[in-house]
Each structure stands twice: as C-alpha cells, then as structure tokens.
C-alpha cells in the first residue's frame, strides 16, 4: 500500500533528472513509509524519456512513467500524474531542482497536522527581477480571486491530501491552475518556508509573456472580478461624463462659444476608446473559455505509460 506519491512534471530536463531522482528518493526514504515517484514527460524534445527509462530500470517498483505526445504545459502534466497516484499524500515537485527535494519531509509533516493543502513559500528566491515581480503580481491576484491569501502561488513544491486530489480530478476544465483550484476545495491550508536554489542545468520554461498569460488565465478562470470592475468603472465614467457635460453647458451659457480644450476632449476620447477595447478583450477571453469548454476536447493525449 502506497502512502506517499510524488508527481514531477518533466520538460527538457535530461541534465537534471539523475540528480533529481537520487535526491528525491533519498528524501522520501527518510520518511520510512511506502512511496512512489511519478515522472510525467511533457513532450520533451531532448532525451529526457530515455533518461527516465534508465532510472526506472535502476529503481523497479518505485518509479512510474507517463509520456505526452507533445507539450501541454506544466499543470496538465501534474494533472496526468494526479490521475494515477496511489498515495494518501501527494507531493508535487519541479524537475529543475530549484525547489530542493529535501523539503518533502517538511511538507508531509505539515500535512500530518491536519491540513488539506500545504504550499511551499520560496524564501530568498534566486530568480531575476523579471521573474520575481510578475510572480509577485500573480500571488496578489490569486489571493484576491481565490479568497485564500498565500505568498507564493507559483511554487510547485506542494503537498495535498488524497481527498483534494480526487476532487481536482473530477474537474474537467480545459485549463486549470492547480494551486488555485486546490485552495478552493481545501478546508485548511498552510504555507511553510522552503529553500530555493539557482538553476543548475537547462533553462527556464517560463518567460515574461508566459507569466503574463498565466496571470490572465488565472484571473478569468476563477473569477468574474475583471468584468465586475470594468462595469463599476463604466458607471464612474458615465457619471463623470454627465458631470463634465453639465459643466460645459454652464460654461457655454456664461462664456459663450469657444474652441479651447479640443485636445483635452480628444485625450478623454482616447481613454474611452481604450477602455472599450479592454472590455472587448475581456469579453473575448471569457467567450473563448466557454468555446473551449463546450467542445469538450481532451486536455492532453498520453503517448506512452511505463508502470
């Protein structure tokens, strides 16, 4: 009977896999309980799968492999692992070794205290500013949207109870931000500080544009807050427009016809046009999400599995 399942999404991480598996197995063995390690190949273009097969042969009965036919993204890879876990406690971990596997016992210990979700909070992050400030924005937005305040929604070093994982597996959204979704189901959540290391090999899969898309997807996927804010802003602008119109009417009665302020009116017009484009973009995002959902296409295709 497996007590602990460790799910690791892998994308072009061949240079890190051997050390990752060695350190992860050592950390899990220190808990003295049955465990499994599920490696999910997210359509890697390097020889990650070959390395994974070699590691599985070296550790039979412990490592299980899942391989996508192409790249679907980190969260889809984690979901594929969730659908196959056997453990009572499930831990997720990145393959780049920036989140040390040695932190796994700390997460498990916290889960044993009765929490449903335990999140890692990366202290003294080794990332550049162009990575940290978008992450800060994601954390603030996620805390508001989900209703659970956490300092590091972007950290994949997390532990979940099996009940939470089963509830996540029942959700069929076309796109899913797992930390936020888990917190919407959890009764008790906790956050512990974990170490963070600089990347030793390979390169990051998240650039500034992908982080922006992730943030936008998070906001529109878990809340109607953007549309509500825009509606509220529209009401304020309408009231301001009525007040400004009354002001111009009274001024015309007192001063008479004048042409001053034309450029000011143009600038105000441009602001209104920009807001209209923003509203159309938000509506398009929500409609696009509905379109993806109603098609009910599979979120990913699995090419191969090795138990």
Over the stretch 210-245, which tens digit does the pLDDT of each residue have?
Answer: 666 666 666 666 666 677 677 777 777 777 767 776
* Domain extent listing, the chain: 4-222+298-306, 225-295
Residue 136 to residue 134: CA distance in whole angstroms: 5
- CB contact at 8 A, 242 and 249: no
Asked whether the predicted pLDDT for residue 201 surpasses 60, the reply is no
Residue-level pLDDT at 25: 96
Residue 257 to residue 89: CA distance in whole angstroms: 75
Residue-level pLDDT at 218: 67
The segment with the largest mean pLDDT, out of 5-9, 199-203, 226-230, 299-303, is 5-9
- pLDDT band (50, 70, 90) for residue 33: very high
Residue 212 to residue 11: CA distance in whole angstroms: 20
Asked whether the predicted pLDDT for residue 267 surpasses 80, the reply is no
Over the stretch 273-295, which tens digit does the pLDDT of each residue have?
Answer: 777 777 777 777 777 777 767 77
Pick the closest to residue 285 from 216, 187, 239 (CA basis).
216
What is the pTM (predicted TM-score) of this model?
A: 0.77
The length of the chain in residues reads 307
How much of the chain exceeds pLDDT 70, in percent? 73
- CB contact at 8 A, 65 and 8: no
Q: For 180-202, give one letter per residue: b (16+ CB within 10 A) or e.
A: bbbbebbeebbbbebbbeeeeeb
- CB contact at 8 A, 40 and 93: no
Burial class (CB in 10 A: 0-12, 13-18, 19+), 64: buried
Alpha helices in 147-260 (DSSP H): 162-169, 178-185, 208-222, 225-255
Over the stretch 130-185, which tens digit does the pLDDT of each residue have?
Answer: 566 666 666 676 667 666 777 777 788 999 999 999 999 998 776 678 888 888 89
> What's the mean pLDDT in 260-265?
62
Architecture, CATH, for domain 4-222+298-306 = Alpha-Beta Complex (3.90)
């Amino acid at each position: 009977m497996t007590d602990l399942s460790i799910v690791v999404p892998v994308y072009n991480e061949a240079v890190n896999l051997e050390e990752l598996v060695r350190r992860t197995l050592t950390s899990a063995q220190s808990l003295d309980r049955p465990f499994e390690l599920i490696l999910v190949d997210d359509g890697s273009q390097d020889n990650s799968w070959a390395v994974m097969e070699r590691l599985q042969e070296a550790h039979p009965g412990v490592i299980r492999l899942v391989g996508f036919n192409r790249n679907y993204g980190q969260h889809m890879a984690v979901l594929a692992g969730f659908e196959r876990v056997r453990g009572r406690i499930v831990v997720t971990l990145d393959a780049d070794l920036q989140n040390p596997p040695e932190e796994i016992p700390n997460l498990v210990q916290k889960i044993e205290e009765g929490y449903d979700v335990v999140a890692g909070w990366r202290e003294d992050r080794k990332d550049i500013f162009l990575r940290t400030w978008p992450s800060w924005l994601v954390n603030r937005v996620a805390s508001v949207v989900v209703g659970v305040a956490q300092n590091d929604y972007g950290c994949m070093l997390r532990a979940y109870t099996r009940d939470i994982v089963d509830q996540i597996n029942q959700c069929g959204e076309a796109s899913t931000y797992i930390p936020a979704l888990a917190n919407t189901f959890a009764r008790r959540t906790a956050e512990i500080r974990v170490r963070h290391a600089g990347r030793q090999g390979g390169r990051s899969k998240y650039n500034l544009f992908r982080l922006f898309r992730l943030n936008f997807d998070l906001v529109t996927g878990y809340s109607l807050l953007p549309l509500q804010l825009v509606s509220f802003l529209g009401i304020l602008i309408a009231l301001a427009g009525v007040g400004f119109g009354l002001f111009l009417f009274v001024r015309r009665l007192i001063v008479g016809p004048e042409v001053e302020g034309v450029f000011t009116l143009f600038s105000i017009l441009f602001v209104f046009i920009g807001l209209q484009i923003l509203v159309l973009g938000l509506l398009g995002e929500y409609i696009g999400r509905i379109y993806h959902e109603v098609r009910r296409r599979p979120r990913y295709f699995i090419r191969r599995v090795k138990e």
